[in-house]
Chains A and B, each alone.
Chain A
Amino acid sequence: MSTLAMSTLAMSPLATTAFDGMLAVLIAWTAWQSVTSREVFRAVMLFVVFGLLLALAWLRLGAPDVALAEAAVGAGLTGVLFLESLGHLRRNKTVEPPETVAQSRLRRWAVGLPVVVAGGLLAMVALRLEPRVPGIAGLVVRHQGETGVSNPVTAVLLDFRSTDTLLEVVVLLLAVIATYGLVPHGPAHHGPRVRPPATPRPPRQPVLVWFVRRLAPLALLVGVYLWWVGSSAPGGAFQAAAVVAAVFALLRVSGMEAAPPPNARPMRLLMVAGSVAFVSQGLAMLAAGRVFLDLPETVAYGLIVSLEGVLAASLAACLIALVAGAPRPPRQSGERP
């Protein structure tokens, strides 16, 4: 990892600082434009640009793992999620209602002032933090050999702090369940109709379809590669899952439905598989007389790589389900309460 950070182009310190400065200004500007926009579509587009620029900033910070996740998840999938929700909003709800001068002035001061104070306090505290050398990073470096993987970020995620990762997998699963639980159902639901079936079916554009057809298998390959390489280089289950889910999102918006419907049984089983595999690995360690999720040195590598494989598939299924959105309520169904 550090070799990768080192191998960035040798630039003079002045040039690097100038680049970082420009990048920071651009990022702050897109964020500002996005936050002050009253139009949802514009705000979302700016947010996607913001995410891509932020991915560059992560590279500059020597965090390629985060950069990958930011580009694929932060900019890509979150952007698709937002765009998808635009289809659900009624047309007149995608722009904020206008307000009076007095209202906007009040808002500017009543919200702006405390927020500037909060940001200033955060900057002050963060800049004055006394770094504790060697810190925990030293522990990671020292014990990394016991995990069998040479990417320290993967070692932290899947071994040293695997409880966090387990809970993260569970949170994603919960999000899918909660999202589906919120679908208004049946005749009990009344109220203004939202625009009918939200599955975006844009007219088939031959160039887009041609391009996506060729891109999809390559991108899937990239996903598999990211999973495999995660043990020794930037990458891993999450980045792989994000790329795979992005492929399906791309197929979806270009009018080719490739994934089975999220409530099909295989998809549901796949979504649960990640949490189940993770927990059973932990329980297996307990049964072997170790601490929950504490991997023995001899088999750690195999366990991490295989668990990451299951996680990648399972997380991808969850993300696809989130992007695909909940099933539409049956229209005029014959159900009786």
Chain B
Amino acid sequence: MMFILLGAVLFALGLYGAFARRNVVLKLVAVNIASSGVFLVVVSVAPPLPDGGTDPLPQALVLTGIVISVAVTAFGLALARRLGADEGRATLDDEEETS
């Protein structure tokens, strides 16, 4: 129960960061936090097994999800790097303020 709530809180926090932060690397950190929240919810909503263990199916899904997150993060960072190399900026704003 507690971890379902924590998952929802993390999801909201991550979502906030993804929209409110302007630096793309900060956005990516926030997206990672949001997906951790989703993972927590996915595993904690599954009812426990008869022997008290944790349902292996959501665990396997989350393991896959964690690896996909790394792949997405790495790709996002590569995009950010290219943005920096081509335009010399680290935000997605239409017009960069003088820095």
User: Footprint of B on A, CB under 8 Å?
Assistant: 1-2, 5-6, 17, 20-21, 24, 27-28, 31-32, 34-38, 40, 43-44, 47, 50-51, 54, 57-58, 60-63, 65-66, 69-70, 73-74, 77-78, 81-82, 84-86, 88-90, 92-97, 107-108, 111-112, 115-116, 118-120, 122-123, 126-127, 129, 131-137, 140-141, 152-153, 155-157, 161, 164-165, 168, 171-172, 174-176, 178-179, 182-184, 189, 191-192, 194, 236, 238, 315, 319, 322, 326
What A residues does B88 contact at CB under 8 A? Answer: 90, 191-192
Cβ 8 A contact of A63, one of B10, B59, B84? B59
Contact A123 B19 (CB under 8 A): no
Question: What number of residue pairs across chains A and B have CB atoms under 8 A from each other?
Answer: 288
Interface of B is mostly: helix
Closest to A122 in B: B8
Partner of B11, one of A74, A119, A136: A119
Q: State the CA gap A17–B2 with chains docked (Å).
A: 9
Chain B residues in 8 Å Cβ range of A77:
70
In contact, A34 and B29 (Cβ under 8 angstroms): yes
Q: Which residues of A contact B47 (CB under 8 A)?
A: 131-133, 135, 137
Name A's interface SS: helix
Complex Cα spacing A70 to B90, Å: 28
Closest to B87 in A: A191
Known A35-B17, A137-B57: A319·B70 in contact at CB below 8 Å: yes
Given contacts A63-B54, A191-B86, contact A174 B3 (CB under 8 A): no
Which of B40, B41, B54, B99 sits near A62, CB closer than 8 Å? B54
Contact residue range for chain B?
A: 35 or more
Task: List 7 tightest A-B contacts by C-beta distance, closest first.
Answer: A119-B12, A2-B53, A192-B88, A35-B17, A123-B8, A175-B71, A152-B56
**Smallest CB–CB gap between A168 and chain B, Å?**
5
Contact between B12 and A116, CB atoms less than 8 A apart: yes
A127 touching B63, Cβ below 8 Å: no
Q: Which residues on the A side are within 8 Å of B43 (C-beta)?
A: 58, 61, 63, 66
Q: How far is the CA of A82 from the CA of B33 in the complex (A)?
A: 13
